[in-house]
Structure 1
Amino acid sequence: MISRRHILLGSGAALLSRPAPGQTVADWPHRPIRIVVPWPAGGPTDIYARALVKEIAAGISQPVVIDNRTGATGTIGVQHVARAPADGHTLLVANVTAMIGSVVALGDVVQFDPIRDFAPIGIFTESSSIIWANPRLGVRSFREFLDRARDSSRQRIAFGTTGSGSVSEQSVEQLAREFRLDLLKVPYRGTAPQLIDLVADHVQIGGADYPTASPHYREGRLVPLLVIGPQRLPELPDVPSFAEIGLTEPDFTVWNGFFAPAGTPPPTIERLEAALVTASRSETFRAVTNGNGNRAILLRGQDATARLARDLASRQAFARQGAASG
């Protein structure tokens, strides 16, 4: 639910979006472009954003810089862009957790509307996260994990999350609900710090996509338990998916997208879309966003907005179900 205070803030942002005297939309960009990433440096969204910047900066006359504004499950960075002048100089690269999951989990605390307050430039990659275990937990499969988690004579298993509404949190909470597990939740500000503690055995399980966690997996520092999605990954053919254990809703696919504040002039959006299309065809960018558990996609305009609306409705239904069962 969006508060009246938020509606008033949104009206103020619309006034700020007008070009300064003497400037026109055709002048864009007339100062450095700041791309806000609401997660720490080194995490998957940050990696995608930096790859995108490399590709679009060549065709833009101003510097393009990354601004990591972290905290509150990504909402601090997202809210900053929602309130920014809609002139094409403050943009956002964010994932489904920051744009959708946080809104569902935090409710009125969140002062933005993911659909009304943003103009999608494009959703450009999606992936299925994986639930990983530290080898010291002593489990090598999901079934072994269930047996260990149900053993009340042993210490509770701690699971790392990247905040309220994140896939890592909601997926493990769904497991705990469906299989009646008593787990200890430990929140982090992003995937990168969560993985550090998972590898160090400060938490025993956690969620991360394959590209981010695979270096630790190849070195034997992580064990994959479950793919959080409808099907197995080619990179992990022996690891079952959520669908295989009977968990099909909601869709926990993780996407990353490129957004501008609502009200950004259409010619500016068109130029940004063209830059994203060019980037999506680049071998360098595709090497980061396709393969290793990722799928390069390109949803623009109404298609991107429809994806946001669908995921918002799905997560809201999941939250209502959890509240009813609790």
Structure 2
Amino acid sequence: MDQTANLRPGTPGTAGKPPLTVLLAGPRGFCAGVDRAIKIVELAIERYGTPVYVRHEIVHNRFVVEGLQAKGAVFVEELDEIPDDGQPVIFSAHGVPRSVPAAADARQMLYLDATCPLVSKVHREAERHHAGGSHILLIGHAGHPEVVGTMGQLPPGAVTLVEDAEQAATVEPPPGPLAYATQTTLSVDDTAEVLDVLRRRFPDLSAPVKEDICYATTNRQAAVKAIAERCELIVVVGAANSSNSVRLREVAERAGCPRAVLVPRGRDFDPALADGLSTIGISAGASAPEVLVEEVVARLRERFEVTIEDVTVAEEKIIFNLPRPLRNPRAAVG
């Protein structure tokens, strides 16, 4: 289905409005991991009834969270906020430390794990390197749920967090073999810079079998780079606590766009930002649904005669399987 069908220019009759070309970066918006996580919540509500509990925001987007709340999802930060009522709890797409499912097992709670399979892949590789005797250097942002979850796969002290090139130049890991892993939603260019520093300092640093930064993050950043030099403004639709959305805004400016802004949705966007401009771009983080992009375009149409141009750098056809209990109604949960 053409995801830009609702974004095409409307009927004639808007004479008097200044013209504005809008470049839609593609891919944008939902990735396979986000789509899977949302479906897990929706299907769990259908199967188990309400409430269904979700530990942490299932994805970092308030529009999505509020939509699931309206269907009967209850979001909590920790398991101790959940009563012993027999209803299931879902772990967010960002992943959780090992201690969380262990605590759920101890309480005999039903649980479903919505961790993105590409995040789980990082977990398994970190475990493999640790089992082989390597200390792990994890490139990522302190406090982000994905980083907390990855570090929580291994014993305390087994992982050292490296946030940027400056830290990479000074980090002092324990003696012995080293391996690295990365958060899946980082800037591709920033991560390469950090790795250049680490590899100069630690030439024997072991790498993942396959790049940790996920295909969706890479593709969305490439799409923004493809339009950046043509745009006088780029609008990134996404939440301020969404790592991949924040990185898109940064990538836009570094790639040559004079200004890039991050907006949660259309109602938060001031179309006057485009006054006097001829060409702007729009992208969306991996946890932002397309309807929020449509809202931004609608706001622009209030003020401009909008012409839409699609700029697509990659086609995404990846689909991740749902957890077994939601594929097989007779399978046990937990």
TM-score band by shorter chain is 0.3 to 0.5
TM-score, length of structure 2 as denominator length: 0.32
Larger C-alpha radius of gyration, 1 or 2? Answer: 2
Structure number having the greater helix percentage: 1
